[in-house]
A and B are shown apart, each in its own frame.
Chain A
Amino acid sequence: MYAQMVKTAGTGVKKPKDMTAEEKAFQAKIDRNEKIEPKDWMPDDYRATLIRQIGQHAHSEIVGQLPEGNWLTRAPTLERKAILLAKVQDEAGHGLYLYSACETLGVSRDELTEMLLNGKMKYSSIFNYPTLNWADMGAVGWLVDGAAIMNQVPLQRTSYGPYSRAMVRICKEESFHQRQGYAIMMKMAAGTADQKRMAQDALDRLWFPSLMMFGPSNKESVHSEQSMAWRIKINTNDELRQKFVDQTVPQIEFLGLTCPDKDIKWNEEKGGYDYTDPDWSEFFAVLKGNGPCNKDRLAARNAAWKNGAWVRDAMLAHARKKAARKAVAA
């Protein structure tokens, strides 16, 4: 999940008798599965929560380009390089769709960018882990994009129109991401002993961080009933994590690799795997800024923003000059 621990604004779900007429009509609209559009009336807390959630999601798409960008110049073949480049380029597009959706709520693109750069807004914990070998490109596509898909598919039905439409576009593009990742894993798992060892190593390092993507267990999670009532959160963290584990374990077996969770076990009764939770203290430390790559990621984004400033300014100055010249001629 690209939005983790998004704090829901407000004081929790109100009883109908405590709602204003506007709030009642708003909730009824959501309950009828109608979309909320930018100019419609909405509670301030709904707006504030969505800005946090969509903003964090957008930041994750953008920062998520860094661990893969790391391997663009070192891809093993020209074809692999072209594929990875196309995938990373898609992620830039995903960031754009989401920033655009977020801007319809009344926050500007520059404000969002600045909140990422100064650490006021977060991005997914997963991108604070390094990508150490080529097999990581396989494991990231397969596991990280796979976990993102789990979360994004239900969000296509979210109540906020622009967010829902962004999710529809994103979901169309994501399955290529997961499949190209799994194709790398298949190749490496069937390769030389060294290649297979690299594939296993990538899986070992990324398994638990991928499970963390869904956010803390329901038991530890911040109160999310309000977000569910608003339909900006559709499933609980544990539901999505369980679905992800159930889908992924057979894929590990298909590759002939070993699940890093030594206690993974099929539970006939619940029709799913029993799995070990990730180390939540590690998760909270990464969120706080103490993961292996937090400083690098933020430094890279800050440098890109700073070094690109003269280009942004020059293009705008040129456009204004051209417009002024046209006005004089007319």
Chain B
Amino acid sequence: MSNEWPLWEVFIRGQHGMSHRHVGSLHAADAESAMMNARDVYTRRNEGVSIWVVEAAHIAASAPGDKGPLFEPANSKVYRHPTFFDIPDDAGAM
């Protein structure tokens, strides 16, 4: 068995109530020390109010080759955007 600590991905929520955002990775023996390391490395300048650490091996990711099947169907569905609809200014704020 390799004695390298597993890889963890670090997600941080900033001050302003936004979602957690991926900020980087680190190696740690377990979740507890991953959390401590994340605090030390990624929040030295008040970057966050909350940390998630996830072992990288547990993340399922889409493959570059899936880009077409996954994302192209949205291209033709322009009616999902508000700008598709012509509403006269007279109708008021909408």
Contacts and interface: CB of A to CB of B under 8 A. Distances in A.
Interface residues of A, number: 28
Interface in A297-330: 312-313, 315-316, 318-319, 322-323
A97 B24 contact: yes
Interface of A: 37, 39-41, 86, 89-90, 92-93, 96-97, 100, 103, 108-110, 165-166, 169, 173, 312-313, 315-316, 318-319, 322-323
B63 A39 contact: yes
Interface string B6-38: 010000000000000001111101100100000
B64 A318 contact: no
A279 to B, nearest CB: 38
A171 B41 CA distance: 15
A156 to B, nearest CB: 15
8 contacts: A40-B64, A90-B44, A96-B41, A100-B24, A165-B24, A169-B23, A169-B24, A319-B29
Nearest to B26: A96
Contacts of B30: 315, 318-319, 322-323
Chain A interface mostly helix, strand, loop or mixed? Answer: helix
Interface of B: 2-5, 7, 23-27, 29-30, 33, 40-41, 44-45, 61, 63-64
Contacts of A110: 2, 4
A85 to B, nearest CB: 11
Given A92-B41, A109-B4, 10 more contacts: A39-B64, A40-B64, A89-B40, A96-B24, A100-B24, A109-B27, A165-B24, A166-B24, A169-B23, A315-B30
B4 A315 contact: no
Nearest to B33: A315
Given A100-B26, A315-B33, A319-B29, A39 B5 contact: no
A109 B26 CA distance: 10
B5 A312 contact: yes
Contact of A316 (B23, B29, B63): B29
Contacts of A318: 29-30
B44 A313 contact: no
Contacts of B44: 86, 89-90, 93
Nearest to A113: B4
Contacts of B3: 312-313, 316
Nearest 10 A/B pairs, CB to CB: A319-B30, A315-B29, A319-B29, A100-B25, A93-B41, A316-B29, A110-B4, A40-B64, A39-B64, A96-B41
A166 B26 CA distance: 13
A173 B26 CA distance: 18
Nearest to A86: B44
Contacts of A312: 3, 5, 29
Contacts of A89: 40, 44
Contacts of B45: 173
Contacts of A103: 7, 25
Contacts of B4: 108-110
Nearest to A93: B41
Contacts of B26: 96, 100
Nearest to A110: B4
